[in-house]
Amino acid sequence: MDIVVFGAGSIGSLFGALLARVPEHSVTLVGRDRHIAAVRDSGLRVTGVDDFVVRPSATTDGTDLSADLALVTVKSFDTETAARELGTGAFRAVCSLQNGLGNEETLARHLNCPVLAGTTSYGAVREAPGAVAWNGSGDIVVGPWDPRDADGAADEVGEAFAAADLSITVADADGIRRRLWHKLAANAAVNPTTALARVENGAFGNQPGSDLVEPIAREVAATARASGVDVDDEEAAAAVAEVIEATAGNESSMYRDVERGRRTEIDVINGYVVEQARKHGIDVPVNETLWTLIRTWEAGRELRDP
């Protein structure tokens, strides 16, 4: 399969490298200058769970590309730009493998092909230009964002990932939406709280403040139900607990962003919950508070668009 990985950050580089190991796949990484220059010079090095080097194609120009699959792994605030660039090319399908919700609608606006959504609990950190540390394996779930796109694209993506020995499940449109809301509950609880308290994911779960998990999960579940996705409170809280346990030793992506003074994905996580809740007349005060606190931090550092 011809695969464009748009966004050569931690997860994009890891999946790009793992997919590039399959001789039948041809992978093109789209990313930023220094990383792409290093990949072109010396290949993409993976360390950790496995150690290897691959040599995928690599470019900084995401326009006029064509492939069977465009896998979108950029930070959510770059989705609009990615979608515009990908919209100049031709793809059999596009799949968002990003944090938060709302990315799929943005891709659907710009691309004339089936849009798939995915979640993953694989862990990676980009350590240096051309190098990514593979911290842990988990699972990947993909499915069609729009039920009318149930034309086999998700199954083809499932086969392509399985050929790289990645643990992947293909869901239907209902199944993937439920998974995305479960993941959203986990991100809404873990990301801003660990970023504000400057603790690893597991430390948050063990502190007295961890009784925030339930109200956050309840608010997310109520918003999901109001949006037509059947998620109950216990399920959402269990999804959060599972992520905290599985990633106890990790710094969340938002904690890392705050530590490095970078813009976060708060708008597509707690911000998305608040906006959907408002549409349905639901109060989500804990999510609203967390969104406000992180946005205020970003604004203070002039990280937000004016």
Determine, following the binding rule CB under 6 A, whether residue 243 of this chain makes contact with ligand PAF.
Answer: yes
Rounded-to-integer distance, Cα 72 and Cα 66, Å:
14
Determine, following the binding rule CB under 6 A, whether residue 253 of this chain makes contact with ligand PAF.
Answer: yes
Determine, following the binding rule CB under 6 A, whether residue 187 of this chain makes contact with ligand PAF.
Answer: yes
Which DSSP symbol is given to 183?
A: H
Rounded-to-integer distance, Cα 170 and Cα 141, Å:
6
Q: Are 228 and 290 in contact (CB under 8 A)?
A: no
Neighbours of 140 (CB within 10 A): 22
Rounded-to-integer distance, Cα 205 and Cα 200, Å:
9
Determine, following the binding rule CB under 6 A, whether residue 186 of this chain makes contact with ligand PAF.
Answer: yes
Determine, following the binding rule CB under 6 A, whether residue 247 of this chain makes contact with ligand PAF.
Answer: yes
What's the closest the beta carbon of residue 26 comes to ligand PAF, in angstroms?
A: 28
Tell me whether residue 183 is one of the annotated catalytic residues: yes
Catalytic option among 25, 179, 183, 263: 183
Rounded-to-integer distance, Cα 157 and Cα 252, Å:
27
Rounded-to-integer distance, Cα 232 and Cα 178, Å:
10
Determine, following the binding rule CB under 6 A, whether residue 168 of this chain makes contact with ligand PAF.
Answer: no
Determine, following the binding rule CB under 6 A, whether residue 250 of this chain makes contact with ligand PAF.
Answer: yes
Q: Are 254 and 201 in contact (CB under 8 A)?
A: no
The pattern of x and - marking residues 189 through 218 that bind ligand PAF according to CB under 6 A reads -xx---------x-----------------
What's the closest the beta carbon of residue 217 comes to ligand PAF, in angstroms?
A: 13
Residues tagged active-site: 183
Residues making contact with ligand PAF (CB under 6 A):
99, 186-187, 190-191, 201, 243, 247, 250, 252-253
